[in-house]
Every structure is written in structure tokens, then in C-alpha cells.
Amino acid sequence: MIELRGLTKRHGGKLAVDQLSFDVRPGRVTGFLGPNGAGKSTTMRMILGLDEPTEGGARVNGRPYRRLPAPLREVGALLDARAVHGGRTAYDHLRFLAVTAGIPRRRITEVVDLVGLTAVARSRAKEFSLGMAQRLGIAAALLGDPGVLILDEPINGLDTEGIRWLRGLLTGLAGEGRTVLLSSHVMSEMELTADHLVVIGQGRLLADMPMRAFIAANSETSTVVRATDQDRLSALLRERGATIRPDPGGGWIVGGLDATAIGELANAQRLSLRELTPRYRSLEEVYTRMTRDAVEYRTARHAIAGGTETSS
């Protein structure tokens, strides 16, 4: 369990993190989202005692990180996969960490196997691709078999197989009752991996809710409907003020009436339906709309447009 209360970090005149309060609970993967510069890495660094908060604080398993008696056994973290001594082999890097934390050697072999680096464990880290470096960082995070994992952008550099592997690993670890906090800009993957989302923008909390609820709450309701008598159904729906447009897959996309109301209407008119599917936006669509105003580093095109771009 990770608890943030009023966590604030000021760099000179700039608020990087602004009064953040939320809990990261065990038994699920919590996705940590925010545009570039939103304050995710600074927040993670403060949780891990690497940056001092200006105000407020963070607790891991009830204590500030620096007061944990055996931190590596309680919290595993990956902040920067490239922050490894390049001249060391993967095995030596892990052995160095294990010795410092009193972790037995056989655990090194276990985690090297777990992340799929056995064949290159004796190679120097500087020869590693980014994907291999991420796997090494994940191995280091898992070394102490911790109940809490904090991973900043671990997906970067992983190939398709690696991404799939990481998804299975993280959902498995959460399934064992561990606390997993994961940041990523890869929305499609976040949608598949995270159960819960925390979204920040310009250092402030924008959302803290289950993934499904986040998407549903921020999606306009629309429903795909197909009926045996499409014309009659569309006439009925229009009468009720619904908006209707053809669905490329056949049938209609209906707005302004939810699936329950459409089903009841069809039932009352003895119209048989062949499809009644609520449509939700993807996490990427919802997230982009939500954070549009909180984006600090816009592309040149946006800057020139002066923020007048229309919604997608």
C-alpha cells in the first residue's frame, strides 16, 4: 500500500507536484498517467525517498520509505533502466544489490530466469538494448520479492513479446496481492494492464478511479443497434429524440438514449434486436480529451494553433 497526502514539490518558482493525495492499493495494477512534465517521475522519486517533498508526504506500508527497515524487500522500483554501471555484467549488477540487502545468491538466478536474461547474464550492461536494460531493471526491482512495485515507463524499448510478457508478469504479481504502480505513455497497453488509474496534469490530480469507470464516465454514451426491421427502429428512435448514424458494420450507432432505454423501447414495440452493444471510447481517446488542457509541452503545431484545435 502506498499513501500520498498533500504531496507537493516546488522547483524554484515552479510547482512540479501540487497537493497530491491518493492511495495505491494492493491486489491491482494502478496505472499512473499524465502528459510529459506532469510530475509522475517526481512523484515516484518522492515516494522512494529520492526527492524531498516541499510539503506533505508519502508512506509505503505505513512508513516513509527512508524509515523502512528492509527497503529492497518491501519496495521494488525501476525508474531509469539505463542507470546501471555499463561495465558491470547483469549478474554482477544484481549481485551487488543482493549483497547490500542481504538477499541470497539463488534469488539472482531466479530473477534472471524470470525476466528472460539467462543467456546474457554474463554480458556487460552497456551492450544491452533498451529492452534488455528494462528487463534487467525489472529483475532488480523483483530481487527482494517485494510486496510493492513502482515502475516508471518499463514498457519503453520492449518488443511485442516483451510487452506481453510484462503484462502477464504485472497482472500476476497484482493477483498475488502485491501493490503495483506503473507509469506508461503507451495507452493501449495501459488499458490492457491496469485495473485502476491515477491521472495527473501539471502536478495536480485529475482522476483516481477504476479503469472501466474512468472510460465509461468520460465516454459519450453511444450504442450499436441492429434490428430485423431497421427502418421501423430508426423511426422510433428518432421520435424519441435519439441521434442516429449508420454503423460501418451494419445497423445504427445511436446517441442520446442508452442501451437500456433502447432495449425497452424495442421490447415495447415488439421489435426484435440482433445487436445492442454500448460503445466506449478507448483509454487513449478519453485520456487525450481529459488531459488536453493540462498538456505542458505541446507540439509546435498546437502552439501555433494557439490551442484552438477541435476535439477529436
Ligand X SMILES: Nc1ncnc2c1ncn2[C@@H]1O[C@H](COP(=O)(O)OP(=O)(O)OP(=O)(O)O)[C@@H](O)[C@H]1O
Q: Binding residues for ligand X, per CB under 6 A?
A: 11, 16, 34, 36-42
Length of the chain: 312
**30 vs 222, beta carbon nearer ligand X:** 30
SS3 201: strand
How far apart CA 65 and CA 40 sit, in angstroms, is: 17
The H-or-E segment that residue 160 falls in is helix 160-175
DSSP state of 67: G
**42 vs 223, beta carbon nearer ligand X:** 42
- 34 alpha-carbon distance from chain centroid: 9
By CB atoms closer than 10 A (0-12, 13-18, 19+), residue 133 is buried
**80 vs 127, beta carbon nearer ligand X:** 80
**27 vs 37, beta carbon nearer ligand X:** 37
Cα separations in angstroms, 58 against 52, 67, 117, 261: 10, 12, 33, 45
**194 vs 242, beta carbon nearer ligand X:** 194
**33 vs 262, beta carbon nearer ligand X:** 33
How far apart CA 270 and CA 56 sit, in angstroms, is: 60
How far apart CA 212 and CA 197 sit, in angstroms, is: 9
By CB atoms closer than 10 A (0-12, 13-18, 19+), residue 227 is buried
**46 vs 125, beta carbon nearer ligand X:** 46
How far apart CA 123 and CA 34 sit, in angstroms, is: 35
Residue 33 sits at φ, ψ, to 5 deg, of -120, 155
**8 vs 41, beta carbon nearer ligand X:** 41
Q: How many CA atoms lie within 13 A of 65 on its CB side?
A: 22
How far apart CA 135 and CA 59 sit, in angstroms, is: 27
DSSP state of 101: H
Please state the closest distance from residue 11 (CB atom) to ligand X, in A.
3
